[in-house]
Amino acid sequence: MEITRRDLFRVSAATAIAGAMSRVALAADDPLASWNDGAPKKAILDFVHATTDQSSSKFVPEPERIATFDQDGTLWVEHPMYTQVVYCFDRVPAVVKAKPELANVEPFKTVLSGNREAIAKLTMDDLFKILAATVTGMDVDQFEAEAKQWLDTARHPRWKQPYTALVYLPMIEVLNYMRANGYRTYIVTGGGQDFVRVYSDRTYSIPPEQVIGTAGGTTYGYDESGRPFLTKDPRLLLNDNYAGKPEGIHLMIGRRPYAAFGNSTGDRQMCEYTKAGDGERLAMLVLHDDVNREYAYGPAQGLPDTKVGTFTQALYDEAKSKGWTVISMKSDWKRIFGFS
Amino acid sequence: MEITRRDLFRVSAATAIAGAMSRVALAADDPLASWNDGAPKKAILDFVHATTDQSSSKFVPEPERIATFDQDGTLWVEHPMYTQVVYCFDRVPAVVKAKPELANVEPFKTVLSGNREAIAKLTMDDLFKILAATVTGMDVDQFEAEAKQWLDTARHPRWKQPYTALVYLPMIEVLNYMRANGYRTYIVTGGGQDFVRVYSDRTYSIPPEQVIGTAGGTTYGYDESGRPFLTKDPRLLLNDNYAGKPEGIHLMIGRRPYAAFGNSTGDRQMCEYTKAGDGERLAMLVLHDDVNREYAYGPAQGLPDTKVGTFTQALYDEAKSKGWTVISMKSDWKRIFGFS
């Protein structure tokens, strides 16, 4: 095929038309349709406009456009228990069957008792012990297959939906909107990195390499046939909470985010680190103040600060004083879930 | 602007023309122009064709197209010393000035002596000690600035070129060619992750988040003004050599590569892990057999297997028996450097 100058001109004219069309489409459809008008929605739109407008002094080149999102309580429901903790508890009987000596050892004994009150009192240390015991020695492929199967069948006690259906529609819109504007979206979660990677792509359109989470080591070895495989081991490489979030971001990305979204004291340092960068930066915290449509916990309810995942009064005050935007689920979100 | 159906048709016709043009351009220009015709060049072209052709049974969807590249000896010169080791040695006087008690402690004493023969005998353990001492306690931004400055001024003893000019042109072509075909290219190096990230983008067009290397921990803290920053600390999180390469790939990417390139026993497990995946996989090893244009070391020269970076006879035999392609610098590369 011969290609003339005229063809070349047509290509560039058509490219201009296509560009104009996509801008028209963007203006016509509200990318944040599940958000009520208000300061948080405006903060997101203004931030994206300012950092993607080449004529703006706040313009950010595309390779540097990184946005990080906590998961539990920020992208999906974390009550009454973190999904991954439910998963680990569900695995305890199988683990104890394989190692019967654990039946009389805490915290396994408490989990097996089914006593909800006692289970609710387990500490983060207890949870780490259970987590390590339930995954140590597993082939990473086997872990992935089992977690996938569990996610397909497990249901949330309140909504009777798969856990992956309990994502917040307004936050899915933020993820899509930022990606459409050249941002790479990362999950930065206290949850297990390998666990979240199992469903991040189909649930959030976030590929495994953009999931940073609490991570243990693996050990490379061989099966009887000489096939190499990786086994999960109990070494903790990254506790991706609090200061561990900026440390994990440095380890896995090596760039400071321009935008960070969280909902708890575990996200404080990530927000702080993000805002400490030059130029325009966005930090936002989801406040769970909607007892009817979801849950209400945190400063509005005066709940004590005893667990990871708590939005304390101190964090609320810091956010207000430092210009981190607080998102009220009750006031700012028209809809919460996609299924309702 | 009103957009008609006819405009839409023009857009898609123009897109088809543009697609055809890029295919024509690809056929006309050899993407691996610095390679001589031969089995290695053919292996790369065949692999990319097979895995990117939708009608092929070996087709790989774009998000899964991951290619990993060792750095030292694979993408750039590693003799007579790894570049990062040269950097650390150059920093030793400043470190000893700050901590004079190190002057009489090994391995610092040997480095300060300038005795080349003794320096050449330092072990990997010694190098780790020096590495830890030269970076521990540094602000990561300060580390980046100092490494950048060193790279701008340091010159390789043989070619009198900046180290970043000593990249292999044929491998740069492979990186570009694979990226043009939807592969994401990662560096997976035994070198320090933070060090390589300083120049990976400008040298290889590989962004920091696609550099996996030997990595230490960092600690989040605050300066006097309350500004948060990360400090490098001596904890080793990932020793990205040997089995550490597949372990690091799992940690940082969470997907198995389809193609892996290396040059030494430190890359053996990465090649093995890559080839153990389903479908078409590519593993290639660069053999340094060109004493005139670069260096000759490894099995052809019968050198002893004493250091990381050695291409042993055992590795050579394994590569041949398992279908990993060995690249002869002497026979397969028309040109080695971009500057000559």
| ipTM associated with this complex | 0.89
- Smallest CA-to-CA distance from B336 within B292, B284, B297 is with B292
B15 touches chain A (CB under 8 A): yes
- For a pLDDT cut of 90, what percent of chain A falls above it? 74
Integer Rg of chain A from CA: 22
Å between B1 CA and nearest CA of chain A? 8
A253 to chain B: nearest residue by CA? B209
Would you state the structure tokens that stand for residue B204, as one six-digit string? 């290889």
Evaluate if residue B82 carries a pLDDT over 70. yes
B178 half-sphere exposure, CB direction, 13 A CA radius? 29
Evaluate if residue B249 carries a pLDDT over 50. yes
Decide if A18 and B11 are in contact by the 8 Å CB cutoff: yes
Residue A301, pLDDT score = 65
Evaluate if residue A14 carries a pLDDT over 50. no
Tokens 């002596």 belong to residue: B113
Residue A104, pLDDT score = 92
A268 to chain B: nearest residue by CA? B228
Evaluate if residue B304 carries a pLDDT over 90. no
Å between B190 CA and nearest CA of chain A? 15
- pTM for the model stands at 0.90
If DSSP states are collapsed to H, E and C, what string results for chain B?
CCCCHHHHHHHHHHHHHHHHHHHHHHHHCCCCCCECCCHHHHHHHHHHHHHHCCCCCCCCCHHHCEEEECCECCCECCCCCCHHHHHHHHHHHHHHHHCHHHHHCCCHHHHHHCCHHHHHCCCHHHHHHHHHHHHCCCEHHHHHHHHHHHHHHCCCCCCCCCHHHCECHHHHHHHHHHHHCCCEEEEEEEEEHHHHHHHHHHHHCCCHHHEEEEEEEEEEEECCCCCEEEEEEEEEEECCCCCHHHHHHHHHCCCCCCEEEECCHHHHHHHHHHHCCCCCCEEEEEECECCCCCCECCHHHCCCCCCCCCCCHHHHHHHHHHCCEEEEHHHHECCCCCCC
* Section A217-235 average pLDDT: 95
Decide if B254 and A18 are in contact by the 8 Å CB cutoff: no
Contacts of B240 in chain A (CB under 8 A): none
Contacts of B3 in chain A (CB under 8 A): 17, 20-21, 24
Tokens 């610092």 belong to residue: B108
Mutate which: B252, B269, B272, B275, vs A, most A CBs within 10 A: B252
Å between B88 CA and nearest CA of chain A? 21
Q: Is the peptide bond before B93 cis (omega within 30 degrees of 0)?
A: no
- pLDDT tens for A51-75 read 999 999 999 999 999 999 999 999 9
A246 touches chain B (CB under 8 A): yes
Å between A11 CA and nearest CA of chain B? 5
Residue B303, pLDDT score = 55
A64 touches chain B (CB under 8 A): no
Contacts of B1 in chain A (CB under 8 A): 20, 24
Residue A3, pLDDT score = 39
Evaluate if residue B129 carries a pLDDT over 90. no
Phi, psi for residue B249 in degrees, rounded to 5: -65, -40
Contacts of A13 in chain B (CB under 8 A): 10, 14
Residue B337, pLDDT score = 98
Interface of B with A in 200-239 (CB under 8 A): 201, 207-209, 211, 215, 217-220, 227-228, 230, 237-238
Compare CB distances from A215 to B17, B219, B251 and report the shortest one's residue. Answer: B251
Residue B28, pLDDT score = 53
Span of A322-336, B3-17, B249-263, B272-286 with lowest mean pLDDT: B3-17
- For a pLDDT cut of 90, what percent of chain B falls above it? 74
Compare CB distances from B228 to A228, A251, A276 and report the shortest one's residue. Answer: A276
Decide if B209 and A17 are in contact by the 8 Å CB cutoff: no
Residue B135, pLDDT score = 87
- pLDDT tens for A270-319 read 999 999 999 999 999 999 999 999 998 887 666 554 454 588 889 999 99
B301 band by pLDDT with thresholds 50, 70 and 90: low
B205 band by pLDDT with thresholds 50, 70 and 90: very high
CB B37 within 8 Å of CB B46: no
B105 touches chain A (CB under 8 A): no
